[in-house]
Amino acid sequence: MTDPGIDTGIDTAAVQAAREAVAAGGRRLVDEGLVTGTAGNVSVRVGDLVAISPSSVPYAEVGPEDVCLVHPDGSPAEGSTSRRPSTETGLHLSVYAATDAGAVVHHHGLRSVAVSTVVDVLPPLHYYAVRLGGAPRVAPYHRYGTPELARAVTEALADRSAALMQNHGAVTHGATLDDAFERAHLLEWLCELYVTATALGRPRVLTDDELAEVVASRYGGPTA
């Protein structure tokens, strides 16, 4: 069954599930220490629409009915809320246009912000980096909400599922919102590892050949 309020013919249940996931995802950002206040945003692709966090609304107050629905060009879809979508909607849409991602998480974790100010690429100190497609790149700084930032982040994500944003934060994507959150936490862990190791001295960085060997071994779990 479809909802006549949604102008794309997408199943009502799929749209509702996406909006519920985004509302819950916003609370996860805060509960899991990935943002403070109303910073950051999450989105889920549902057919030809994207469900995304509303702008400047405390996450604890966001219900499914507050989650925005937009077309790939950023225009609001029928049946969307009257709230304004996130200022980073253009960034999310750019990532969806360039990848097969099903969900995107943009967060301001302390470690990722700190590391983004001192490196151009997060050095791969641990083979977990291959779970993100390789060493995460740092997108050059541009003001939040700008097309320039969206382009820079999308370029940094080429062949990767995570990127740092200089003096800003980070973006991860995955097939599902759970995947994107898992990668956000993995990125924070890799950043914390870098901060800890560099405080002790000059860390050894894995070589391209060593990382390629991990990929060839079909590594796929966090316990190896």
CA distances from 212 to 55, 187, 194, 203, 207 (A): 41, 19, 21, 20, 9
Question: What is the pLDDT confidence band of residue 5, given thresholds at 50, 70 and 90?
Answer: very low
Active site residues: 88
Give pLDDT, residue 11: 80
Total number of domains constituting the chain: 2
Q: Do both 65 and 35 map to the same domain?
A: yes
Q: Is residue 76 pLDDT above 90, yes or no?
A: yes
Percent of the chain with pLDDT over 90: 89
Structure tokens at 58: 């405390």
81 and 120 inside one domain: no
Asked if the structure places residue 97 within a domain, the reply is no
Residues 77 and 110 reside in one and the same domain:
no
| 113 and 46 in a common domain | no
Domain-located, residue 23 = yes
130 has a pLDDT exceeding 70 = yes
User: What is the rounded average pLDDT of the residues 151-171?
Assistant: 98
Q: What is the pLDDT of residues 165-206, one digit of tens each?
A: 999 999 999 999 999 999 999 999 999 999 999 999 999 999
Query: What is the chain's mean pLDDT, rounded?
Result: 93
pLDDT at 207 exceeding the cut of 90 = yes
The enclosing domain of 41 has a CATH number of 3.40.225.10
Q: Are residues 216 and 138 in the same domain?
A: yes
Which pLDDT value is given to residue 9?
Answer: 60
Q: How far apart are CA 29 and CA 177, in angstroms?
A: 12
- The interaxial angle of helices 147-156 and 89-98, nearest 10 deg, is 40
Confidence of residue 3 (pLDDT cuts 50, 70, 90): very low
Neighbours of 80 (CB within 10 A): 24
- 166 within domain boundaries: yes
Tell me the residue range of the domain where 62 lies.
1-86
- Segment among 7-16, 27-36, 62-71, 111-120 with least mean pLDDT: 7-16
